[in-house]
Structure 1
Amino acid sequence: MIAVIACTPATQKTYEHPAYFDTVFARAYTIEESSVAASHAYLEDAYARFPEAGKADLFRKYAFMHLYSMRIFNYQKAMLYADSMLTLFNDKSLQQRYPLNYAQALLSRGDVLRDQKKYNEAYLYFYRGREVLQKTNDTCLYHEYASRLALVYYRQEKYPEAARYFSETFQWLSRCDTSSFNTFYVLQGMLDNTALSYDKAGNDRRALALYDSTLDFIRKRGAKFLHIPDQARGIKAATAVVYGNKGSLLLRMGDTLAAESLFRQSIAINLHGRDEKKDAQMTMAKLAALYLSRNFYDSARAVLREMKSSLDMLPDAEIRQRWLSLQWQYYEKTDQQNAGYAALKDYVTLKDSLAAAAPKPVVADINKEFERMAGEHRLEILQKNNELKTAYLFILVFLCLSVILIAVMIWQNWRKSRRHVAALQLLNQEVTTQHEHIQKSLAALEQSQQNHYRMMKIVAHDLRNPVGAINTIASLLLMANQPERKEQDKEMIELISTSSVSALNLISDLLELDTSLTNMEMEILEIDVALKYCVDLLQTKAMEKNQSIRLHAEPVQVMACPEKIWRVFSNLINNAIKFSPDGAHIEVELKRQNGNVRVAVKDQGIGIPPSMQGKIFSQTTEVKRKGTRGEASFGFGLSISKQIIEAHDGIIWFETEEGKGTTFYIEMKAASRK
């Protein structure tokens, strides 16, 4: 629970009353140890008697009830309380005033989605929570995000990633205040979870070393809390959990005696404790399986009876399913067929019920489940009675017959193939000849195209200097203030200057066409910064037409060539200015979406007619049009932009409505966050 204490002037609304509610929650936690219902009733009554409760006070209540709902796996109520917490912070000012509470609300909703196996949605809320925590500049709170992401990876069975984030949580939290019992308890849990993740990933040596490190950590760091009964009980329960996890690893490594000892120690602690009874039930299942594998039937029966008594007091459907499976195996091994069939039937029924409620389908056909298990049982009987040799004989006969049949089929196909070999060879020669002709034609076409582009660039390059000189001379003539110059001469000089500028722009576009984009120098680019720079440069041009450019950008990185990407932005925004009327608004948006970066440039211009839409990205002058003020256009800018974006493995497209405007979109892959 995150409690935020602040001083507020008397003129402001009071959102929290810690002096009253600190006492209330301390009492509620005490009552909860003996009766959960009484604790919740007391809490409701305390809030009813204090109508002045503010939003921060209500947050404490919702957080308390959310945690309880998560512990009893009531995800519907847990989600309601998480939504209630978020509703309290609809106001931006409250989000800024209580960032820790707001972050906890986001993370709490993510917790529910994670346990419902809606991992993509959960990650969104974890990410938003992390963003809020990072703005506080308190690195000690990063573990709140890292631990949740670790659990998502663990639930998805991505154990190496889970181990990395559990370890990262431990490291972040270790740098902060470790004097409190709650911090100690979280630290030992993260260390144990890291070991468990390596265990699941099959890294036995690393997992075993971390289990021992966890026990050593609990023994050394937990000693100072043993004088407090509740905390001493929590330390014993945590130790028992590690015993159970380590025992599973040792059993897999073949050390059954050590595994049995750890299982029994874990059960002895947690079965009679208060906090980890479910862990005791799961450990009893491991111990019973161990006894059954070693044919210690009396010991297995005793553990299964004790496990059933615990499940009667604290039911759990998944653990009961495991118990029924073990009970069936026990009856089968002790030759109690009727009882075994009844246990098997109950097991399959419960399994189907759980599968129907699960988010992803599993085998739910009871008849097929019976057939599969019965088949396994029959195979075991065959092995015991040495009847497997007969099965091998049948298999051998079947294989011999199959070989003979295959040989006959090969012989028949070989006879048929001889008649077709000559025809196929002739056809192959014809295809080869045609292929050579096509290759020669393609080579000639490619050489012709290269000659065309080379000639075009030579012409364009040679034109740049004389046209530039014409522009310079026209500009100098305009700058020279000669009263005797006729107005008609001045207009002609201005026309020369304007025409030369247009010609220079056309030459630049021609030189850019078909530019090789294969050897671009790529780098990590803050694309939002580049886009803002381009917008700032073009604001002046837009103001000449009383237009405004509005930018909405998220911080995003891409791997790109800065000069090429800047040219694309400049082309699209210049077009929006050119083809929009005076006084129009141009919207530029940059956002991250599903691992990609999407840029949208939306204008209120003349739109693109249907006859031009299929040619808009082609290298042709058929698509050139004048702007709303008669600005010149050569029709090459969008073609160049398409080449650049596709060279970055991106896509560019547009949506338009003639007479109302056009929106151009660019989508590229976002760079990984460091």
Structure 2
Amino acid sequence: MSLPNPELFIQIGNQSRDIFFVFDYNHNVFSYIGPAFESIFEISIDKVKENSLCLFNLVHEEDKDHVLDCFNECVEDRISHKYEFRIVCNNDLEKYIRVTTYPLFSNDQLLQISGIAEDVSVAKHNNFHIEKINARKNTALEIVSHDLKEPLAMISLAVSDLLQNSMLSGQTRVLKSLTFIKEMCERNVLLIRNLINHEFLKSSEVEIRKERSDLVHDIRDVIGFYQHAELNLFRNFEFISSDEQLYAMIDSMKFMQVINNLISNSIKFTEVNGTIKVSIRDKGSVVLISVSDNGIGIPAHLQPYLFERFSIAMREGLHGEDSWGLGMAIIKTIVELHEGKIWFDSIEHVGSTFYIEIPK
């Protein structure tokens, strides 16, 4: 058995900027590789046809096991798959390659693997920058919210005291100005909080788009932003990882919003000079992430309702931070869309730890 209408496949492959290929599984050789291959992989087609294993030498060291797993899956399954991995070309140039495979069987025997490989480096790097900017934006919003909340609340409190002062009785113009200041303080605090809640609510409405991402790098980037703001937030932030790198299939933008929201909740319910710790651990086929604090904890009677929408477990933060009662429900939804699970341990007046487990 061979490709149906192979001439058409080759004709398209010869004109494409992507790499069309046909791999003869039984003889372990490429029977066809499109000319785009040489400009993307920066080695000759003849060299690969002579020794197909030389391609493996181009794979990034951190992705070699991943590529082997992908190849084994492709051989064992009877369906098309899409894979992404990195290669290192001349001058140590790193490229991201996306491969779509189509296994061809005859009498339950795999004969060929045809497919298309494309260089997605530009799109990948753009996504990295967008995700990093988005994660930092969410973190910055939380920090700015906290930075503005307390001074605005103090101004509002001082103005309230002045409004009750009998010495200003009858001074209509002054009282109007003070009332205006008080209302503006309250309005701006609510505006900031609503903006953050709106951003998080919208994230759950967008379809999950999972890609292979380094969780350690992404979470370290988020927690690092909080660590830089420790003096302003009056909390201590720690990050612990069992490995320098841990890869998993996630929608990085949404998953980092989950981490951000858990940290934000810890800030709300942890006293000044308290500690918030984020850790990540490799557990074989899954990754375990935890966000813990030594705050006021969650009362036992509220714990069963924590992940419900508009839950009775919603509470104001220690400094009056409001809650819509939607955050934890959305967190749970996003985690489950990643085929993971979330749970927590909490003791009132001792602290809380939230655990997230997702498959690698």
TM-score (ref. length: structure 1) = 0.26
Q: Which has the higher strand share?
A: 2
Larger Rg: 1
